[in-house]
Amino acid sequence: MIPIIDLASADRDALVAEIRSACVNVGFFYVKNHGISDDVINKAVLAAERFFALPIDAKTKLDIHATPNFKGYTALLGENTNPENNGDLHEGFDIGWEPEMAACACEIPSDGAMSGTNVWPENLPGFREDVLAYYHAAVKLGLLLFPLFALALNLPEDFFADKVTKPAAIMRLLHYPPQSPQPAGGVEGIGAHTDYECFTILWQQDNVPALQVMNTNGNWIDAVPIPGTLVLNLGDQFARWTNDVFKSTVHRAINATGKKRYSIPLFFGTDYDVKLEPIPSCITPDNPAKYEVITAGEYVKSRLEATYAHSAI
Ligand SMILES: O=C(O)CCC(=O)C(=O)O
Ligand SMILES: [Fe+2]
């Protein structure tokens, strides 16, 4: 159901065709041979474990609600991704782009949503470096994927190149405590939602399945962790651009394993000012234009505001 795509495939045309099929039919696929080393992944996961194990006071000092640009810590129930629910049972830590060498003390100018200075915990040596090493590896992977998505839409390979010049990539470290398989009170690990950007690169922990994807019949199917792979799913920016030819598929997570679960999504959006204008070939008499044209930044910001309006710590 959810295909596994080998990014090391020597046959580029076949690879593009597989990606197109996954994007048009499912909106989710796994990638193997993705180029992010186990060492980089393991260090980022360890960093997440260390961060979430900090005392709550150290974490709430970095409260995401207190930053102007959605950076920092979200407590359990601090956001509500599905408006019909009553909060998400995960805690998170969000960063945006900054140079990999953390020695740079420069301010990152804020564009109102995706960029702006990150906040970092004190007294956690190596945390920033290890998190940024994974962030940059995932951004590099994302930049390699854009030409493949462009080709899958019969566009010139470099169609997205001038639209992702300041990587508008938001990364989250997530921790899901265990919960009942039948969540009570409208509280799931993360409620049913679509992602807001072009696509998401998701690392999820082996042996702790929780992610579920809604299929075209409206049934939940498990997107079980497959060792050595990352999950790739499309988000609303691509759906808008392609007039829903590429699917932004509803998904959620419920951690009923009895164990802690960690995951690391990186949401790859275009630059803030890019207009989400439908690609002409995606508009046909059978599929007339569905979406009002707005900028990528306005779209993401409005979705983030709704998600975090739920509760301040
Ligand atoms: O933790 C997961 O597996 C999914 C996370 C997710 O869907 C999100 O953060 O948008
Ligand atoms: Fe998501």
Q: Going residue by residue through the chain (313 aa), what tens digit of pLDDT does each one get?
A: 899 999 999 999 999 999 999 999 999 999 999 999 999 999 999 999 999 999 999 999 999 988 888 899 999 999 999 999 999 999 999 999 888 765 455 666 665 555 678 999 998 999 999 999 999 999 999 999 999 999 999 999 999 999 998 778 999 999 999 998 888 889 999 999 999 999 999 999 999 999 999 999 999 999 999 999 999 999 999 999 999 999 999 999 999 999 999 999 999 999 989 999 999 999 999 999 999 999 998 998 888 888 777 664 4
Distance from C-alpha of 28 to C-alpha of 223, rounded to nearest angstrom: 9
Give the distance (Å) from ligand 1 centre to CA of residue 288. 31
Q: Is 45 within 8 Å of 37 (Cβ atoms)?
A: no
Q: Which atom of ligand 1 is nearest to the CA of 233?
A: 7
Q: Which atom of ligand 1 is nearest to the CA of 211?
A: 3
Predicted pLDDT at 166: 78
Distance from C-alpha of 201 to C-alpha of 279, rounded to nearest angstrom: 23
Q: How far is CA 252 from CA 1, 12, 192, 209, 277, in A?
A: 17, 32, 5, 12, 28
Predicted pLDDT at 22: 98
Q: Whose CA is nearest to atom 8 of ligand 1?
A: 265
The total of other beta-carbon atoms located within 10 Å of residue 301's CB is: 19
Give the distance (Å) from ligand 1 centre to CA of residue 252. 7
Surrounding residues of ion ligand 2, Cβ less than 5 A? 195
Which residues, 6+ apart, have CB-to-CB distance to 284 below 8 Å?
none
Radius of gyration of the chain (CA): 19
Q: Is 233 within 8 Å of 249 (Cβ atoms)?
A: yes
Pairing of β 28-32 and β 220-222: unpaired
Is 251's C-beta closer than 6 angstroms to any atom of ligand 1? yes
Predicted pLDDT at 313: 44
Is 164's C-beta closer than 6 angstroms to any atom of ligand 1? no
Task: Say if pTM beats, i.e. exceeds, 0.90.
Answer: yes
Is 244's C-beta closer than 6 angstroms to any atom of ligand 1? no
User: Half-sphere exposure (CA, 13 Å, Cβ side) for 132?
Assistant: 15
The total of other beta-carbon atoms located within 10 Å of residue 221's CB is: 16
DSSP string, 252-297: EE---SSS-EEEEEEEEE--TT-B-PPPGGG-BTTB---S---BHH
Distance from C-alpha of 313 to C-alpha of 311, rounded to nearest angstrom: 6
Distance from C-alpha of 83 to C-alpha of 229, rounded to nearest angstrom: 31
Which residues, 6+ apart, have CB-to-CB distance to 131 below 8 Å?
44, 47, 95, 171, 173
Distance from C-alpha of 305 to C-alpha of 293, rounded to nearest angstrom: 19
Distance from C-alpha of 258 to C-alpha of 239, rounded to nearest angstrom: 35
Q: Whose CA is nearest to atom 9 of ligand 1?
A: 265
Q: Which residues of 130-215 form beta strands (DSSP E)? A: 168-176, 190-193, 199-204, 211-214
Strand order in the sheet with 72-74: 4-6, 28-32, 229-234, 199-204, 261-269, 168-176, 91-95, 72-74
Closest of 236, 273, 34 to residue 145, by C-alpha: 34
The ipTM assigned to this model is 0.99
Predicted pLDDT at 311: 60
Q: How far is CA 285 from CA 66, 279, 288, 293, in A?
A: 47, 14, 6, 19
Give the distance (Å) from ligand 1 centre to CA of residue 268. 14
Q: Is 76 within 8 Å of 91 (Cβ atoms)?
A: yes
Q: Is 3 within 8 Å of 22 (Cβ atoms)?
A: yes
Give the distance (Å) from ligand 2 centre to CA of residue 199. 10
Give the distance (Å) from ligand 2 centre to CA of residue 306. 15
Q: Which atom of ligand 1 is nearest to the CA of 267?
A: 10
Give the distance (Å) from ligand 2 centre to CA of residue 203. 12
Is 205's C-beta closer than 6 angstroms to any atom of ligand 1? no
